[in-house]
Amino acid sequence: MRSTWRTLDSVLLRDVTAVALGAAVNGASFGAIAVGSGLPWWMPLVMSVLIFAGGAQFMAVGIVASGGSPMTAVLGGLILNSRHLPFGLAIGDVLGRSWLARIVGSHLMIDESVAFALNQKDPAKARAAYWACGVSLFVMWNAGVTAGALVGQAIGDPMAFGLDAAFPAALLALTLPALKDVKTRQAAGLGALIALATTPFLPPGLPILLALGGLVVYANKANKAQKEEKVAEPCP
């Protein structure tokens, strides 16, 4: 493990530190929102340690706080985190070979840690980047959640201070580069329309799940385009 950490360079450490600081801010937002929604201060802390999935945690608290059922919240979290299945296949070798390393490494598997690992060409550096990012974000996220929960408990209404806007703003910033692609914009736009159209008629949480229909349409169009390209290819 020492040799793994020695492969980290200053640029990688700088990037990991910046992402970890952002995770602390988002964690504070989650802690404040969770407490402001009526949860006891310790519940967001336990969720963050055991689940460690920011998007799923925000979704679960938002669905339950708006009157949705816990089952809808769990289903939404499972669907949202289903992307971890291909993540695991892509970086399985990075986690290590021992069972302990694979269990701990799987718990630290988030978008950022996977992205840092896949961005490295050297296997040793990929392993170091994954663990450095995963451990740093786990610590900073939970520290932020703790601080946010305590502050939210003290101020009473975190929305009055704009803490509820921190996480949506961060997610918007992360998704903006992806929206440069026309097909991605179309899928996101369709999903947004589905959510807006069904919100007045369905229980909280379900419109968000139905918004995934935008991805289904996107996938169907992509498969159709691939088939057309194969048909158009000249025979050898």
Residue 125 has what pLDDT?
86
What is the distance between the alpha carbons of residues 87 and 22, in angstroms, rounded to a whole number? Answer: 22
Is the Cβ–Cβ distance between 60 and 73 less than 8 Å? Answer: yes
Is residue 77 over pLDDT 90?
no
What is the distance between the alpha carbons of residues 187 and 113, in angstroms, rounded to a whole number? Answer: 26
Residue 175 has what pLDDT?
64
Is residue 87 over pLDDT 60?
yes
- pLDDT tens digits along 91-138: 888 887 888 888 998 999 988 888 888 888 888 888 888 999 999 999
The pLDDT confidence band at residue 236, using thresholds 50, 70 and 90, is low
DSSP 3-state of 82? helix
The pLDDT confidence band at residue 90, using thresholds 50, 70 and 90, is confident
Is residue 164 over pLDDT 60?
no
- Location of structure tokens 């899928």: 187
- Greater confidence (22 vs 233) lies with 22
Residue 146 has what pLDDT?
93
Q: What are phi and psi of 86, to 5 degrees?
A: -65, -30
Residue 134: other Cβ atoms inside 10 A:
25
The pLDDT confidence band at residue 156, using thresholds 50, 70 and 90, is low
What is the distance between the alpha carbons of residues 180 and 205, in angstroms, rounded to a whole number? Answer: 28
- pLDDT tens digits along 25-58: 888 888 888 888 788 889 889 989 998 988 788 8
Residue 67: other Cβ atoms inside 10 A:
9
State the burial class of residue 220 (Cβ atoms within 10 Å of its Cβ: 0-12, 13-18, 19+).
Answer: exposed
> Minimal CA–CA distance to 68: which of 199, 162, 212?
199
Inter-helix orientation angle 123-155/99-107, to 10°: 50
Residue 145 has what pLDDT?
92
pTM of the entire predicted model: 0.69
Helix, strand, coil shares of the chain, percent, nearest 5, are 80, 0, 20
Is residue 12 over pLDDT 90?
no
